[in-house]
Chains A and B, each alone.
Chain A
Protein backbone atom coordinates (compact mmCIF):
# COMPACT_ATOMS: atom_id res chain seq x y z
CA UNK A 1 0.00 0.00 0.00
CA UNK A 2 1.41 3.32 -1.04
CA UNK A 3 -0.55 5.45 1.41
CA UNK A 4 1.41 8.10 3.25
CA UNK A 5 1.50 8.20 7.03
CA UNK A 6 -1.21 10.83 7.26
CA UNK A 7 -3.42 8.84 4.91
CA UNK A 8 -3.06 5.79 7.08
CA UNK A 9 -3.88 7.75 10.21
CA UNK A 10 -7.04 9.02 8.56
CA UNK A 11 -7.99 5.53 7.52
CA UNK A 12 -7.56 4.36 11.09
CA UNK A 13 -9.94 7.12 12.13
CA UNK A 14 -12.45 5.79 9.61
CA UNK A 15 -12.10 2.33 11.10
CA UNK A 16 -12.61 3.70 14.59
CA UNK A 17 -15.93 5.11 13.42
CA UNK A 18 -16.91 1.64 12.30
CA UNK A 19 -16.82 0.52 15.92
CA UNK A 20 -19.89 2.54 16.90
CA UNK A 21 -23.15 0.85 17.87
CA UNK A 22 -24.67 2.00 14.60
CA UNK A 23 -22.44 -0.40 12.74
CA UNK A 24 -23.59 -3.58 14.42
CA UNK A 25 -26.44 -5.77 13.29
CA UNK A 26 -29.25 -5.42 15.87
CA UNK A 27 -29.46 -8.07 18.59
CA UNK A 28 -32.92 -9.56 18.35
CA UNK A 29 -34.74 -12.86 17.95
CA UNK A 30 -37.23 -13.68 15.23
CA UNK A 31 -40.19 -15.77 16.33
CA UNK A 32 -43.31 -15.98 14.19
CA UNK A 33 -46.59 -17.19 15.66
CA UNK A 34 -48.47 -19.35 13.18
CA UNK A 35 -51.61 -21.49 13.25
CA UNK A 36 -49.32 -24.49 13.77
CA UNK A 37 -47.46 -22.90 16.68
CA UNK A 38 -44.44 -20.63 17.01
CA UNK A 39 -41.47 -20.89 14.65
CA UNK A 40 -38.12 -19.67 15.97
CA UNK A 41 -35.73 -18.73 13.21
CA UNK A 42 -31.96 -19.02 13.10
CA UNK A 43 -31.00 -15.49 12.04
CA UNK A 44 -27.48 -15.49 13.55
CA UNK A 45 -25.11 -18.42 13.55
CA UNK A 46 -21.53 -19.58 13.10
CA UNK A 47 -20.22 -19.07 9.58
CA UNK A 48 -20.01 -22.19 7.40
CA UNK A 49 -16.52 -23.71 7.13
CA UNK A 50 -15.83 -22.32 3.67
CA UNK A 51 -16.18 -18.76 5.08
CA UNK A 52 -14.15 -19.29 8.25
CA UNK A 53 -11.15 -17.34 6.99
CA UNK A 54 -13.26 -14.23 6.23
CA UNK A 55 -15.93 -14.13 8.95
CA UNK A 56 -16.98 -15.84 12.17
CA UNK A 57 -20.68 -15.14 12.27
CA UNK A 58 -23.39 -14.91 9.63
CA UNK A 59 -26.50 -12.79 10.01
CA UNK A 60 -29.78 -12.69 8.15
CA UNK A 61 -30.46 -9.33 6.48
CA UNK A 62 -33.35 -9.06 8.96
CA UNK A 63 -30.88 -7.91 11.66
CA UNK A 64 -29.89 -4.82 9.69
CA UNK A 65 -33.34 -3.34 9.21
CA UNK A 66 -35.22 -0.83 11.38
CA UNK A 67 -37.45 -1.92 14.28
CA UNK A 68 -40.69 -1.35 12.35
CA UNK A 69 -39.51 -3.36 9.36
CA UNK A 70 -38.34 -6.23 11.57
CA UNK A 71 -41.66 -6.23 13.40
CA UNK A 72 -43.62 -6.66 10.17
CA UNK A 73 -41.99 -10.05 9.80
CA UNK A 74 -43.02 -11.33 13.24
CA UNK A 75 -46.68 -11.71 12.36
CA UNK A 76 -48.10 -13.18 9.16
CA UNK A 77 -51.05 -10.76 9.33
CA UNK A 78 -48.66 -7.82 9.21
CA UNK A 79 -46.30 -9.31 6.63
CA UNK A 80 -47.36 -7.82 3.28
CA UNK A 81 -45.57 -10.66 1.47
CA UNK A 82 -48.28 -13.11 2.53
CA UNK A 83 -50.63 -11.69 -0.10
CA UNK A 84 -48.31 -13.11 -2.74
CA UNK A 85 -48.21 -16.48 -0.98
CA UNK A 86 -52.03 -16.54 -1.16
CA UNK A 87 -51.92 -15.68 -4.83
CA UNK A 88 -49.40 -18.50 -5.30
CA UNK A 89 -51.85 -20.85 -3.58
CA UNK A 90 -54.63 -19.89 -6.03
CA UNK A 91 -52.30 -20.47 -8.93
CA UNK A 92 -51.27 -23.84 -7.50
CA UNK A 93 -54.86 -25.05 -7.61
CA UNK A 94 -55.83 -23.55 -10.98
CA UNK A 95 -56.28 -25.93 -13.90
CA UNK A 96 -54.16 -23.84 -16.22
CA UNK A 97 -52.32 -26.55 -18.18
CA UNK A 98 -52.91 -27.14 -21.90
CA UNK A 99 -54.93 -30.23 -20.94
CA UNK A 100 -56.33 -28.73 -17.75
CA UNK A 101 -53.45 -29.82 -15.50
CA UNK A 102 -52.81 -28.03 -12.21
CA UNK A 103 -49.83 -28.16 -9.83
CA UNK A 104 -52.17 -29.66 -7.23
CA UNK A 105 -53.20 -32.42 -9.65
CA UNK A 106 -49.66 -33.84 -9.66
CA UNK A 107 -48.25 -32.67 -6.33
CA UNK A 108 -51.32 -32.50 -4.06
CA UNK A 109 -50.82 -29.80 -1.44
CA UNK A 110 -47.92 -27.30 -1.55
CA UNK A 111 -46.50 -29.06 1.56
CA UNK A 112 -45.10 -31.56 -0.92
CA UNK A 113 -42.52 -28.84 -1.70
CA UNK A 114 -41.23 -28.82 1.90
CA UNK A 115 -37.47 -28.62 2.05
CA UNK A 116 -36.84 -27.65 -1.57
CA UNK A 117 -36.08 -23.98 -0.93
CA UNK A 118 -33.46 -24.92 1.68
CA UNK A 119 -31.37 -26.97 -0.75
CA UNK A 120 -31.67 -24.99 -3.99
CA UNK A 121 -29.96 -24.03 -6.20
CA UNK A 122 -28.82 -27.63 -6.63
CA UNK A 123 -27.52 -29.78 -9.43
CA UNK A 124 -30.20 -32.04 -10.85
CA UNK A 125 -28.88 -35.60 -10.66
CA UNK A 126 -30.59 -36.57 -13.91
CA UNK A 127 -29.53 -33.74 -16.20
CA UNK A 128 -26.48 -32.26 -14.46
CA UNK A 129 -28.07 -28.82 -14.79
CA UNK A 130 -28.02 -26.29 -11.94
CA UNK A 131 -31.64 -25.80 -10.87
CA UNK A 132 -33.23 -22.94 -8.99
CA UNK A 133 -36.79 -23.17 -7.64
CA UNK A 134 -37.82 -21.10 -10.69
CA UNK A 135 -36.17 -23.61 -13.03
CA UNK A 136 -38.12 -26.47 -11.47
CA UNK A 137 -41.35 -24.50 -11.80
CA UNK A 138 -40.70 -23.78 -15.46
CA UNK A 139 -39.84 -27.39 -16.13
CA UNK A 140 -43.35 -28.35 -15.02
CA UNK A 141 -44.96 -25.38 -16.76
CA UNK A 142 -43.42 -26.22 -20.13
CA UNK A 143 -42.94 -29.99 -20.13
CA UNK A 144 -45.85 -31.20 -18.03
CA UNK A 145 -48.45 -28.50 -18.59
CA UNK A 146 -47.64 -27.66 -22.21
CA UNK A 147 -47.43 -23.92 -21.57
CA UNK A 148 -44.99 -21.21 -22.58
CA UNK A 149 -42.29 -20.74 -19.93
CA UNK A 150 -43.12 -18.14 -17.30
CA UNK A 151 -40.85 -15.11 -17.18
CA UNK A 152 -38.23 -15.55 -14.47
CA UNK A 153 -39.37 -12.43 -12.66
CA UNK A 154 -43.02 -12.47 -13.76
CA UNK A 155 -45.77 -12.12 -11.17
CA UNK A 156 -46.81 -15.75 -11.59
CA UNK A 157 -43.28 -16.98 -11.08
CA UNK A 158 -42.73 -14.88 -7.97
CA UNK A 159 -46.10 -15.80 -6.46
CA UNK A 160 -45.21 -19.46 -6.91
CA UNK A 161 -41.72 -18.88 -5.54
CA UNK A 162 -43.25 -17.24 -2.46
CA UNK A 163 -45.61 -20.18 -1.91
CA UNK A 164 -42.86 -22.78 -2.36
CA UNK A 165 -40.39 -20.90 -0.13
CA UNK A 166 -42.99 -20.77 2.64
CA UNK A 167 -43.09 -24.56 2.75
CA UNK A 168 -39.46 -24.58 3.96
CA UNK A 169 -39.96 -21.82 6.48
CA UNK A 170 -37.75 -22.32 9.52
CA UNK A 171 -35.66 -25.02 7.84
CA UNK A 172 -31.94 -24.45 7.80
CA UNK A 173 -30.34 -23.57 4.45
CA UNK A 174 -28.01 -26.33 3.38
CA UNK A 175 -27.03 -26.11 -0.28
CA UNK A 176 -24.44 -28.58 -1.53
CA UNK A 177 -21.18 -27.06 -2.71
CA UNK A 178 -19.16 -30.17 -3.44
CA UNK A 179 -19.38 -32.94 -6.02
CA UNK A 180 -21.37 -31.96 -9.09
CA UNK A 181 -22.08 -28.54 -7.54
CA UNK A 182 -18.40 -27.64 -7.17
CA UNK A 183 -17.77 -26.14 -10.62
CA UNK A 184 -20.91 -23.97 -10.36
CA UNK A 185 -19.96 -22.91 -6.86
CA UNK A 186 -16.42 -21.96 -7.94
CA UNK A 187 -17.82 -19.89 -10.78
CA UNK A 188 -20.26 -18.14 -8.43
CA UNK A 189 -17.44 -17.42 -6.00
CA UNK A 190 -15.34 -15.87 -8.74
CA UNK A 191 -18.23 -13.58 -9.68
CA UNK A 192 -18.74 -12.63 -6.02
CA UNK A 193 -15.17 -11.35 -5.79
CA UNK A 194 -14.99 -9.66 -9.21
CA UNK A 195 -14.95 -5.86 -9.15
CA UNK A 196 -17.51 -5.03 -11.81
CA UNK A 197 -18.48 -1.79 -13.48
CA UNK A 198 -17.11 1.71 -13.63
CA UNK A 199 -17.21 1.84 -9.83
CA UNK A 200 -15.07 -1.34 -9.69
CA UNK A 201 -16.96 -2.93 -6.82
CA UNK A 202 -17.49 -6.58 -6.00
CA UNK A 203 -20.22 -8.11 -3.87
CA UNK A 204 -17.50 -8.73 -1.28
CA UNK A 205 -16.47 -5.05 -1.19
CA UNK A 206 -19.90 -4.14 0.14
CA UNK A 207 -21.22 -7.24 1.88
CA UNK A 208 -18.02 -8.72 3.31
CA UNK A 209 -15.55 -5.83 3.79
CA UNK A 210 -18.13 -3.22 4.75
CA UNK A 211 -21.08 -5.09 6.22
CA UNK A 212 -22.41 -3.10 9.17
CA UNK A 213 -21.32 0.24 7.66
CA UNK A 214 -23.66 2.88 6.36
CA UNK A 215 -23.47 3.51 2.63
CA UNK A 216 -25.41 6.75 2.62
CA UNK A 217 -28.74 5.89 4.30
CA UNK A 218 -28.39 2.12 3.80
CA UNK A 219 -27.11 -0.18 6.53
CA UNK A 220 -25.02 -2.70 4.65
CA UNK A 221 -25.92 -6.30 5.46
CA UNK A 222 -24.03 -9.44 4.52
CA UNK A 223 -26.23 -9.70 1.42
CA UNK A 224 -27.66 -13.06 2.51
CA UNK A 225 -30.52 -14.61 0.53
CA UNK A 226 -32.07 -16.91 3.14
CA UNK A 227 -34.93 -14.39 3.45
CA UNK A 228 -35.79 -14.38 -0.26
CA UNK A 229 -38.10 -13.74 -1.86
CA UNK A 230 -38.42 -10.47 0.07
CA UNK A 231 -41.31 -8.06 0.17
CA UNK A 232 -39.90 -4.59 -0.49
CA UNK A 233 -41.90 -1.76 1.02
CA UNK A 234 -40.28 0.67 -1.43
CA UNK A 235 -41.55 -1.29 -4.45
CA UNK A 236 -44.73 -2.63 -2.82
CA UNK A 237 -43.87 -5.97 -4.38
CA UNK A 238 -41.75 -9.08 -4.00
CA UNK A 239 -38.26 -9.51 -5.29
CA UNK A 240 -36.34 -12.69 -6.11
CA UNK A 241 -32.68 -13.08 -5.16
CA UNK A 242 -31.52 -12.66 -8.74
CA UNK A 243 -33.59 -9.50 -9.11
CA UNK A 244 -31.73 -8.12 -6.12
CA UNK A 245 -28.42 -9.08 -7.79
CA UNK A 246 -29.48 -7.10 -10.87
CA UNK A 247 -30.01 -4.02 -8.69
CA UNK A 248 -26.69 -4.38 -6.87
CA UNK A 249 -24.67 -4.91 -10.06
CA UNK A 250 -26.41 -1.97 -11.74
CA UNK A 251 -25.41 0.19 -8.78
CA UNK A 252 -21.76 -0.43 -9.60
CA UNK A 253 -22.31 1.27 -12.97
CA UNK A 254 -21.97 -2.13 -14.64
CA UNK A 255 -23.77 -3.96 -17.40
CA UNK A 256 -25.79 -6.46 -15.38
CA UNK A 257 -26.35 -10.14 -16.03
CA UNK A 258 -29.90 -11.30 -16.61
CA UNK A 259 -31.98 -13.31 -14.18
CA UNK A 260 -31.55 -17.02 -15.05
CA UNK A 261 -28.22 -16.40 -16.80
CA UNK A 262 -25.55 -19.00 -16.05
CA UNK A 263 -23.68 -16.29 -14.16
CA UNK A 264 -26.52 -15.35 -11.82
CA UNK A 265 -27.51 -18.96 -11.23
CA UNK A 266 -23.96 -19.79 -10.17
CA UNK A 267 -23.90 -16.63 -8.06
CA UNK A 268 -27.18 -17.60 -6.41
CA UNK A 269 -25.71 -20.97 -5.44
CA UNK A 270 -22.60 -19.32 -4.04
CA UNK A 271 -24.47 -16.61 -2.10
CA UNK A 272 -26.92 -19.23 -0.78
CA UNK A 273 -23.94 -21.25 0.50
CA UNK A 274 -22.68 -18.24 2.46
CA UNK A 275 -25.96 -18.55 4.36
CA UNK A 276 -25.75 -22.29 5.04
CA UNK A 277 -26.95 -22.53 8.64
CA UNK A 278 -29.51 -19.68 8.59
CA UNK A 279 -33.23 -20.41 8.39
CA UNK A 280 -35.32 -20.01 5.28
CA UNK A 281 -37.63 -17.13 6.20
CA UNK A 282 -40.34 -17.76 3.60
CA UNK A 283 -41.12 -14.23 2.57
CA UNK A 284 -39.17 -11.61 4.50
CA UNK A 285 -39.76 -7.86 4.69
CA UNK A 286 -37.30 -5.14 3.74
CA UNK A 287 -37.74 -1.38 3.39
Chain B
Protein backbone atom coordinates (compact mmCIF):
# COMPACT_ATOMS: atom_id res chain seq x y z
CA UNK B 1 0.00 0.00 0.00
CA UNK B 2 1.32 3.40 -0.85
CA UNK B 3 1.46 5.96 1.89
CA UNK B 4 -1.44 7.92 0.48
CA UNK B 5 -3.76 4.93 0.12
CA UNK B 6 -2.97 3.90 3.63
CA UNK B 7 -3.90 7.33 4.91
CA UNK B 8 -7.15 7.24 2.94
CA UNK B 9 -7.99 3.88 4.48
CA UNK B 10 -7.44 5.26 7.97
CA UNK B 11 -9.62 8.25 7.19
CA UNK B 12 -12.41 6.03 5.83
CA UNK B 13 -12.23 3.88 8.93
CA UNK B 14 -12.37 6.90 11.18
CA UNK B 15 -15.42 8.24 9.32
CA UNK B 16 -17.23 4.91 9.45
CA UNK B 17 -16.77 4.39 13.19
CA UNK B 18 -17.96 7.39 15.18
CA UNK B 19 -15.99 8.34 18.24
CA UNK B 20 -16.95 6.31 21.31
CA UNK B 21 -18.67 9.20 22.99
CA UNK B 22 -20.79 10.27 20.02
CA UNK B 23 -24.55 9.74 20.36
CA UNK B 24 -26.26 8.42 17.22
CA UNK B 25 -29.50 10.22 16.19
CA UNK B 26 -31.71 7.28 17.15
CA UNK B 27 -30.12 7.04 20.62
CA UNK B 28 -30.69 10.65 21.61
CA UNK B 29 -32.58 11.01 24.91
CA UNK B 30 -34.83 14.07 25.09
CA UNK B 31 -35.96 15.28 28.51
CA UNK B 32 -38.80 17.77 28.05
CA UNK B 33 -37.33 18.57 24.64
CA UNK B 34 -33.82 19.14 26.01
CA UNK B 35 -30.62 17.11 25.52
CA UNK B 36 -28.20 17.28 28.45
CA UNK B 37 -24.89 15.99 27.09
CA UNK B 38 -22.86 17.00 24.04
CA UNK B 39 -23.86 14.83 21.07
CA UNK B 40 -20.27 14.54 19.87
CA UNK B 41 -18.79 14.26 23.35
CA UNK B 42 -16.80 17.39 22.50
CA UNK B 43 -17.38 21.10 23.06
CA UNK B 44 -18.60 23.13 20.08
CA UNK B 45 -16.80 25.85 18.16
CA UNK B 46 -19.00 28.95 17.83
CA UNK B 47 -17.24 30.24 14.69
CA UNK B 48 -17.91 26.98 12.88
CA UNK B 49 -21.48 27.15 14.18
CA UNK B 50 -22.07 30.54 12.58
CA UNK B 51 -20.86 29.09 9.27
CA UNK B 52 -23.21 26.12 9.53
CA UNK B 53 -26.10 28.47 10.25
CA UNK B 54 -25.53 30.60 7.16
CA UNK B 55 -24.57 27.88 4.66
CA UNK B 56 -27.47 26.84 2.41
CA UNK B 57 -26.50 23.20 2.17
CA UNK B 58 -25.98 22.89 5.95
CA UNK B 59 -28.17 24.54 8.59
CA UNK B 60 -29.47 27.43 6.49
CA UNK B 61 -31.10 28.73 9.68
CA UNK B 62 -31.16 32.22 8.16
CA UNK B 63 -33.69 31.00 5.57
CA UNK B 64 -36.23 31.43 8.37
CA UNK B 65 -34.50 33.28 11.25
CA UNK B 66 -32.86 36.68 11.54
CA UNK B 67 -29.66 36.77 13.58
CA UNK B 68 -28.26 40.26 14.10
CA UNK B 69 -25.33 38.55 15.82
CA UNK B 70 -24.15 37.36 12.40
CA UNK B 71 -23.50 40.44 10.28
CA UNK B 72 -23.59 40.49 6.48
CA UNK B 73 -26.28 37.88 5.98
CA UNK B 74 -28.18 38.99 2.92
CA UNK B 75 -31.93 38.44 2.89
CA UNK B 76 -32.59 36.58 6.15
CA UNK B 77 -36.04 35.02 6.33
CA UNK B 78 -38.97 36.35 8.38
CA UNK B 79 -40.69 33.04 9.10
CA UNK B 80 -39.29 32.33 12.56
CA UNK B 81 -38.38 34.33 15.70
CA UNK B 82 -35.11 36.30 15.54
CA UNK B 83 -32.41 34.38 17.39
CA UNK B 84 -30.79 37.33 19.17
CA UNK B 85 -30.99 36.86 22.92
CA UNK B 86 -31.83 33.21 22.53
CA UNK B 87 -29.27 32.21 25.20
CA UNK B 88 -31.19 34.31 27.75
CA UNK B 89 -34.38 32.45 26.95
CA UNK B 90 -33.13 28.86 26.78
CA UNK B 91 -30.46 26.73 28.49
CA UNK B 92 -27.72 25.01 26.53
CA UNK B 93 -29.49 21.66 26.89
CA UNK B 94 -32.75 23.16 25.64
CA UNK B 95 -31.03 24.75 22.64
CA UNK B 96 -29.35 21.44 21.80
CA UNK B 97 -32.77 19.80 21.86
CA UNK B 98 -34.33 22.51 19.67
CA UNK B 99 -31.60 22.27 17.04
CA UNK B 100 -31.57 18.45 17.06
CA UNK B 101 -35.36 18.14 16.84
CA UNK B 102 -37.43 21.27 17.42
CA UNK B 103 -40.64 19.24 17.29
CA UNK B 104 -39.80 17.83 20.74
CA UNK B 105 -40.10 21.38 22.12
CA UNK B 106 -42.63 22.94 19.73
CA UNK B 107 -45.23 20.40 18.74
CA UNK B 108 -45.76 20.30 14.98
CA UNK B 109 -43.09 22.97 14.40
CA UNK B 110 -42.22 24.08 10.89
CA UNK B 111 -38.56 23.98 11.93
CA UNK B 112 -36.77 20.93 10.48
CA UNK B 113 -35.12 18.36 12.76
CA UNK B 114 -31.40 18.57 12.08
CA UNK B 115 -30.35 15.43 13.95
CA UNK B 116 -32.90 12.83 12.99
CA UNK B 117 -32.69 9.96 10.52
CA UNK B 118 -35.98 8.06 10.72
CA UNK B 119 -39.71 8.53 10.48
CA UNK B 120 -39.83 10.64 7.28
CA UNK B 121 -42.25 10.39 4.37
CA UNK B 122 -40.36 9.87 1.09
CA UNK B 123 -37.01 11.20 2.28
CA UNK B 124 -34.55 12.06 -0.48
CA UNK B 125 -30.77 12.07 -0.81
CA UNK B 126 -30.19 15.69 0.23
CA UNK B 127 -31.60 18.03 -2.47
CA UNK B 128 -31.26 15.59 -5.38
CA UNK B 129 -34.97 14.68 -5.51
CA UNK B 130 -33.87 11.03 -5.58
CA UNK B 131 -34.32 8.30 -2.99
CA UNK B 132 -31.27 7.87 -0.75
CA UNK B 133 -29.00 4.91 -1.30
CA UNK B 134 -28.30 3.29 2.03
CA UNK B 135 -28.91 4.92 5.39
CA UNK B 136 -30.08 8.48 5.56
CA UNK B 137 -27.55 10.70 7.37
CA UNK B 138 -28.83 13.46 9.68
CA UNK B 139 -28.80 16.94 8.08
CA UNK B 140 -26.07 18.04 10.47
CA UNK B 141 -23.39 15.92 12.15
CA UNK B 142 -23.14 15.66 15.94
CA UNK B 143 -20.23 18.08 15.92
CA UNK B 144 -22.03 20.56 13.68
CA UNK B 145 -24.97 20.55 16.13
CA UNK B 146 -22.52 21.25 18.97
CA UNK B 147 -20.92 24.07 16.96
CA UNK B 148 -24.34 25.65 16.32
CA UNK B 149 -25.29 25.31 20.00
CA UNK B 150 -21.98 26.92 21.00
CA UNK B 151 -22.76 29.85 18.72
CA UNK B 152 -26.35 30.17 19.99
CA UNK B 153 -24.94 30.33 23.56
CA UNK B 154 -23.13 33.55 22.56
CA UNK B 155 -26.46 35.21 21.62
CA UNK B 156 -27.10 37.09 24.88
CA UNK B 157 -28.76 40.49 25.04
Chain A interface residue count, CB cutoff 8 Å, equals 40
Does any Cβ of B come within 8 Å of A261's Cβ?
A: no
- Chain B residues 70-121 with CB under 8 Å of chain A are 74-82, 86, 89-90, 103, 105-108, 110, 112-113, 116, 120-121
A1 to B107, CA, bound (A): 5
Considering only residues 99-157 of chain B, those with a C-beta below 8 Å from chain A are 103, 105-108, 110, 112-113, 116, 120-124, 126-132, 136, 139
Bound complex: CA A158 to CA B136 (Å):
35
B112 to A199, Cβ gap below 8 A?
Answer: yes
Size band of the interface chain B makes with A: 35 or more
Is B121 a contact partner of A256 (Cβ separation < 8 A)?
no
User: How far does the alpha carbon of A250 sit from the alpha carbon of B125 in the complex, in Å?
Assistant: 9
The closest CB in chain A to the CB of B113 belongs to A200
Among B33, B123, B129, contact of A246 (Cβ-Cβ < 8 Å): B129
Choice from A200, A205, A256 contacting B120 with Cβ under 8 Å: A200
**A225 CB–B CB distance under 8 Å:** no
The answer to whether A200 and B112 touch (CB under 8 A), given A249-B129, A250-B128, is yes
Is the C-beta of B64 less than 8 angstroms from some C-beta in chain A? yes
Closest to B88 in A: A6
**Bound Cα distance A153, B4 (Å):** 46
Contacts of B64 in A (CB 8 A): 215
A198 touching B123, Cβ below 8 Å: yes
CA distance A6 to B89 in the complex (A): 6
CB nearest neighbor in B for A214: B78
Q: Does A14 contact B (CB under 8 A)?
A: yes
B78 near A22: Cβ-Cβ < 8 Å = yes
Does the CB pair B123–A13 fall under 8 Å? no
Q: Is B32 an interface residue, CB under 8 A from the partner?
A: yes
- CB <8 Å contact, B127 and A10: no
Interface string of A42-60 (1 = CB under 8 A from B): 0000000000000000000
Residues on A with C-beta less than 8 A from B110 are 201, 205, 209-210
In whole angstroms, what is the CA distance A23 to B77 when docked?
A: 11
Q: Give the residue name and chain of the B residue nearest to A22 (CB).
A: B78
A181 to chain B, nearest CB (A): 25
- Given the complex of chains A and B, what is the CA–CA distance between A211 and B116 in angstroms? 27
Q: A3-B105, A14-B81, A214-B78 are in contact. Are A250 and B112 (CB under 8 A)?
A: no
Q: Check B129–A215 contact: CB distance below 8 A.
A: no
B-contact 0/1 string along A205-229, CB 8 Å cutoff: 1000110011111000000000000
Listed residue (B60, B121, B136) with the most chain A CB atoms within 10 angstroms of its CB: B121
Stretch at the interface among A74-82, A133-141, A189-197, A266-274: A189-197
Determine if A7 and B106 form an interchain contact, defined as CB atoms under 8 angstroms apart.
Answer: yes
The A-contacting residues of B in range 28-64, CB under 8 angstroms, are 32-33, 60, 62-64
B124 engages A7 (CB within 8 Å): no
> Contact check: which of A2, A194, A210 meets B107 at CB < 8 Å?
A2
A198 touches B81 (CB 8 A): no
B130 proximity list for chain A (CB < 8 A): 255
Q: Which residues of A contact B128 (CB under 8 A)?
A: 250
Minimum C-beta distance from B104 to chain A (A): 8
Cα distance A255–B123 when bound, in Å?
6
Q: Is the CB of A197 within 8 A of B62?
A: no
A2 touching B63, Cβ below 8 Å: no
Query: Shortest distance in angstroms between A179's beta carbon and chain B's nearest beta carbon?
Result: 30
Contact partner of B81 (CB less than 8 A), chosen from A11, A252, A253, A256, is: A11
Chain B residues with CB under 8 Å of A252's CB are: 124
Q: Would you call A101 an interface residue if the criterion is a C-beta within 8 Å of the partner chain's C-beta atoms?
A: no
CB distance from B138 to the nearest CB of A (A): 9
Complex interface: chain B residues within 8 A of A23 (CB):
78
Q: Does chain B have a CB within 8 A of A32? A: no
Contact A250 to B79, CB < 8 A, known contacts A205-B110, A209-B110, A255-B123:
no
User: Could you tell me if A14 and B122 are in contact, using CB atoms closer than 8 angstroms?
Assistant: no
CA–CA, A209 to B111, complex, Å?
13
The 6 closest A-B pairs by CB, nearest first: A250-B129, A217-B75, A14-B81, A10-B81, A6-B89, A256-B129
Q: Which residues of B contact A (CB under 8 A)?
A: 32-33, 60, 62-64, 66, 74-82, 86, 89-90, 103, 105-108, 110, 112-113, 116, 120-124, 126-132, 136, 139
